[in-house]
Amino acid sequence: MTNATNLPAMGHAEVLMSHWRGLFVSVLRNAAISEESWKARLSSLDVFGLTEFREPSKHKPKPIEFDQDRLEDPSYRRFLIRKLKAPRPGKWVYHKLRIERDQISDEHYANQIGTLLAWRFTNIVLHEVDTNSATMLLLTKLDVGSLTQCLDKFQRHTLNGENVSHEIIRFNVEQALDNNATLQEATRKIAEAGAEARAKFTAEMKPVIEKTLADFDANMRPMLESINQDVDSYIEKLRIRSALNAASTQKVLEECAPDPDPEASFRHAVKMREREAREERRRNWRAKPFYIRFMPHAAIVAGSVVVTFFMEVGESRTTPWEALRDMAGWLI
Tens-place pLDDT, residues 104-127? 989 999 999 999 999 989 888 887
Shared domain for 121 and 172, answered yes or no, is: yes
Where is average pLDDT lowest: 169-173, 247-251, 273-277? 247-251
Give the chain's mean pLDDT. Answer: 83
Is residue 127 in some structural domain? yes
21 or 293, which is more confident? 21
Shared domain for 111 and 137, answered yes or no, is: yes
Shared domain for 280 and 294, answered yes or no, is: no
Shared domain for 173 and 302, answered yes or no, is: no
Domain end residue (candidates: 148, 178, 208): 178
Mean pLDDT over 302-328 rounds to 76
CA distance 137 to 5: 9
What's the pLDDT tens digit per position in 196-231? 899 999 899 999 999 998 888 888 888 988 898 999
Q: DSSP characters for 123-141? A: HHHTTT--TTSHHHHHHTT
95 or 107, which is more confident? 107
Is residue 253 in some structural domain? no
Shared domain for 24 and 165, answered yes or no, is: yes
Is residue 125 in some structural domain? yes
For residue 274, what are the domain limits?
Answer: 258-287
pLDDT at residue 132 in the model:
67
Domain end residue (candidates: 145, 178, 211): 178
Is residue 249 in some structural domain? no
What's the pLDDT tens digit per position in 38-70? 999 999 999 888 888 888 888 777 787 878 888
Shared domain for 172 and 299, answered yes or no, is: no
Written as one letter, the residue type at 130 is D
Q: What is the pTM of this model?
A: 0.49
Shared domain for 115 and 152, answered yes or no, is: yes
Is residue 92 in some structural domain? no
pLDDT at residue 314 in the model:
67
Mean pLDDT over 89-108 rounds to 86
Shared domain for 134 and 10, answered yes or no, is: yes
Shared domain for 302 and 323, answered yes or no, is: yes
pLDDT tier for residue 3 given thresholds of 50, 70 and 90: very low
Tally of structural domains, the chain: 3
Shared domain for 122 and 172, answered yes or no, is: yes
What's the pLDDT tens digit per position in 168-195? 888 888 888 888 888 888 888 898 889 8
Contact 186, 192 (CB under 8 A): no
Coil, helix or strand at residue 318: strand
Residue 8 above 50 pLDDT?
no
Percent of the chain topping pLDDT 70: 94
pLDDT at residue 9 in the model:
35
Shared domain for 33 and 134, answered yes or no, is: yes
Shared domain for 167 and 37, answered yes or no, is: yes
4 or 321, which is more confident? 321
Query: Helices 144-153 & 35-47, crossing angle to 10 degrees?
Result: 70
Contact 56, 91 (CB under 8 A): yes
pLDDT at residue 10 in the model:
43
Would you put residue 57 in left (φ > 0), alpha (ψ -120 to 50) or beta?
beta
Domain end residue (candidates: 127, 143, 178): 178
